[in-house]
Every structure is written in structure tokens, then in C-alpha cells.
Structure 1
């Protein structure tokens, strides 16, 4: 069984497109630049870490780079997966990979999402932190000590939960998490409290853009972040994508569900795009699973070799 996963914001890094420039798959960047009305090649090749950290840049850069990698894998003979999933922003890439969302609509939606989330973060500033060594119940209890100021934002993997909220709220929640046994707390370099009620204004703005987009029946099921369930039809995605902005990403239960009826050695999970964070999560969620991260051209052959 083959599962494709797509990373979200935070996986971007300077020069993330350099290895792909000049390949046939780089044509994806030109098309996306036309739709976005921006020089995305410059973003993928020349932008520094501070420029890429901005939400409006990070999301487009990650989405487009993942599509470049996907195109290269397909040109090299990647077989069709049985299911796809994307983490936060990566859900848009997963929908595009599944044929549920066209590239043009995807670029427009990711642009709108990034702008809406940036505006919401400017309006209601916040932050995020990863809690290591604490389960989701412990994280929720820690957030309860900062009511209406901190929430669980990502249930990523066993012992890895992300909380988000106001700066003060997250400080209170992380202190409570340490008291409850969290081994380590890592501040995340993001520009807002994503997947919390502080993103409510972004949900309203994104809803209008989603109303103008066309969704088709996906060629393979797409696991939704909000309910951790594979969806095999087009209906419901606009609402799921709006809800995703203010609800936690349920990544761990989503991957657990996909793997539930498959032996780990019969399951291959490929991470398609920059970074390798989801690959590490997959190993923790499904011990013994075959995994590979494809971020540059040198990764393609090895990843396809897992499927031989």
C-alpha cells in the first residue's frame, strides 16, 4: 500500500527550489507564477529565511515545491497511491495530487489562505510550541490552565503535540506541560496561532475564495486534517478547509487510520516536498513502516526503489 504525504508550513527553507531549477518539472513554477501574479522562482531560489517565514510566502513556496517534486516522481514512474494526506497547508497539495483541485485553483486558494492567515495573525498575534514527551490528553489539560488563550493545534505523533495561542497563553500552557511531564518544549518559528480560534477572521476570508473554486471527485481518497478520515468525494471539502483553520490538525489519528488494516512492512509512506518532518512522524506513528522523504532529485530513485 502506497500513501503520499505532503508537508505544511515550516518545511520551507532558503534555496528549496535550487536542485530542481532546469529540470522538466520546473515548468510547474512558471505556471504557478502566472496564476499567482508573482515571481515564485525568486521565492524558491533567492528568498532568505526571514522572507520565507512570512505566512504568505511560506505557504506558496511549500505548495509549489511539493508539486514540482510530485511532477518529477510521476515522470520517473511513480505508481498511483491508495490514499494521500497533507499536513495543514499540505492538505491543498494532497487535494491537487488526487485530482480534486486543479493547480490553478490550488495556487489561488493557497495565495488567499496565506494572505488571510497573515492578516488574522497581524490582527490577533499569537505563537506556537511543540511539546515533546506529552500525549494529547496531557496537552489539552495544560492548555486548560490558559482558558481561551491556548489550544492544542496539532496532534502530530505519539509524544509530539503542538499548542498555540496568545504569547501569554502559550507560556502558561507550556509551563503547565512541563509540570505534567513534557520532556522538552520547542518554540516554533511561525507567524501566528494557527489552527486555533485566533484564526477565525481568516476562516471567514478563505470561505469566499473556496466558494469560487471547483472541486472534483478525487482519484484516490484524501485524509482530512479535521476529522482524520479519508474522503472519496468532492462534497464537503470547502467546509473542511475552512474548519481546518480554527481546528487542530489530527495527523496521528489520520495516519493510524490509514495503517490500521495493513501490516507495517506492506505499507510505504512517501513524503513529497521540502523537509522531512512527516517522515519522522510516520516512523513514530507506525513502527516498522517503510518511509522515504523526497525533497530533491537525488531522492527520487531511492524512493521509487522502495516500491519495486
Structure 2
């Protein structure tokens, strides 16, 4: 089975999407529609902005979403997914590409999500850290030992788990994990503790927006971050999207489940090739590629 995967925050780069805009009338039309929906010319920032411009959460998330869904659209009849998944933000891209969400509704939700997350970050200083070279169980165990807020947030691949929490909680956990033998415990340059209980304000805000948005059955199963299982039921998809903000991204488990269910190749749709690298660390024999129109 052919699987398509969609990247999350961190995959952005200056000039992203410009080739699509210049070589496809349909892509140009969708980018211009996005400028209208967002109320600012995100295309100017995507095509001509700096790394720093693209790091603003209210720009980063819609930019990656747009690059992914417009690329999937540009593939036309060549886009025939039998299963899809997205990493964090990428789950919204996957739902639009699979026909469960309209382009405009998906973009509105992504913009609302970015703004809600930014606001939640401002309520309490918080951060994330990548833990390399330890098994998941050890990282989970250490997180439970720390009295401050710190939780596993992104199960990216075997030996790479990102933790999320208060600054004090992350500092304590990093020190303990280094003692336990982590090759690296690297604090990330992010604006807050994504996929942790500290995103509760964002979750509550986004719950209303998601509940009021129409989601229909996708054309193929969507493997969702919260439990790595495939879904086609719109109400369950909504529930999982809401839970995703404060819950962990179970990417390692998602890839394993997709392989178990018959995935024989993975195509990454969007900027960069981060997900291909993570998939190879789950199973180095699996075929991975980037989408090209």
C-alpha cells in the first residue's frame, strides 16, 4: 500500500512553494485564496522572507500546511493515497489532502491553532528538549520522576524522543536523562511546550473551532498522532485532533502501525525530508521519496 506523510513545524525554508506558484495556475489560485483567508500575504513571507520571518508560529504553521496541501493538489491523478498521516501540524494537511477537510476550513483551523498555541506559550514560559540515544521507557520513567510539568511529546523514531514542559521541569529532566546515558539532551529553540498539559488553554480554544468545522469521511484511513491508529469516522477524527494539542505525537508508533497494515512505500508531501529520515530509522529497508509535481 502507498502511504503519504505530511511534515510538521520545523520543515519550513525561505522560498518554499515559490516553484509551485510560478509553474501551476491552480497552485497560484490556491495561494492567492490563502492570502485572502488569512488576511495577509503569506506568500510574500514564504517566497521572500528570511528564516527568522518564517519562524513566527502564525506564519510557520500555515506556510507548511499550504506547501503540503497545494503540492498534493498539484500531483493530480498521481496522488492516490491508500493511507495518510501527518506529524503534529501535518495531520491537518493529511486530512485536507485526503478530502476530509476543505482547503479553506483546513487553513482556518491551522491559523486558529497557531494563534491559540502562541497565546498559550505566552501564559507560562516553557520549552522542549530532544533526548537522543535512550529507549522510550527510560525517558517516560524519568519524566514521571520530575515533580514539575514534563512529559514525552514527540516519539519521532527509536532513540529520539522530544520532551515538553516547564523550563525548570525540562532542565531537571535533561540532567537526569544525561545521567541515565542519553547521548544528547538538547533544548530546542521553540516558543513553548507543545503537546503537553501547558497547551490546555490552546486545546480549549481550538475545541470550539474544530467542533464547528465540517469534517467528512476521508478517501482513505488517516493515522492520527494521539494513538497511531487509522480513522475514517469524522467525529472520532475531530476528537483526536482536539486531544492532539496536549497529547503526544506518536510518530514511531504510527509508522510501525502503517507498516503492519501493509504500507510498502512512503511519500513525503511538503517542505523538506525530515519524515523520510525518521521512517528510515524505524525500518531502513522501506522505500521513501519526496513528492514532486
TM-score normalised by the chain length of structure 1: 0.90
Unmatched runs of 5 consecutive residues or more in structure 2: none
- Secondary structure in 1 matching 2:234: coil
Which residue of the partner structure matches residue 89 of structure 1? 89
Name the SS for the 2:202 alignment partner: helix
Spell out, residue by residue over 1:224-279, the C-alpha distance to the aligned partner (whole angstroms, 9 max, x if none).
100110002212222211110001001111110110143xxx71101110121100
Alpha-carbon displacement from aligned partner over 1:267-292 (angstroms, at most 9, x marks no partner): 11011101211000111112200001
Cα distance in 2 between the residues matched to 1:188 and 1:292:
27
Partners of 1:11 and 1:240 lie apart in 2 by: 23
RMSD after superposition: 1.5
**Deviation at residue 60 of structure 1 after TM alignment:** 0.6
Hey, what does 1:52 align to over in structure 2? 54
Equivalent residue for 2:223? Answer: 223
Contact persistence 1:9–1:62 (CA under 8 A): yes
The TM-score with structure 2 as length reference comes to: 0.95
What is the CA-CA distance between 1:47 and the residue it aligns to?
Answer: 2.2
Q: Classify the secondary structure of the residue corresponding to 1:4.
A: strand
2:126–2:165 CA contact under 8 A, matched in 1: yes
Alignment partner, residue 149 of structure 1: 149
Moved over 4 A (4+): none
- In 2: Cα distance, 1:79 partner to 1:49 partner: 30
1:288 corresponds in structure 2 to 285
| 2:34 corresponds to | 32
CA distance in 2, matches of 1:117, 1:143: 22
Q: Contact 1:53 / 1:191 at 8 angstroms: preserved in 2?
A: no
**1 CA distance for matches of 2:142 and 2:104?**
41
In 1, Cα distance between equivalents of 2:65 and 2:91: 9
Q: Which residue of 2 aligns with 1:108?
A: 108
The secondary structure found in structure 2 opposite 1:131 is: strand
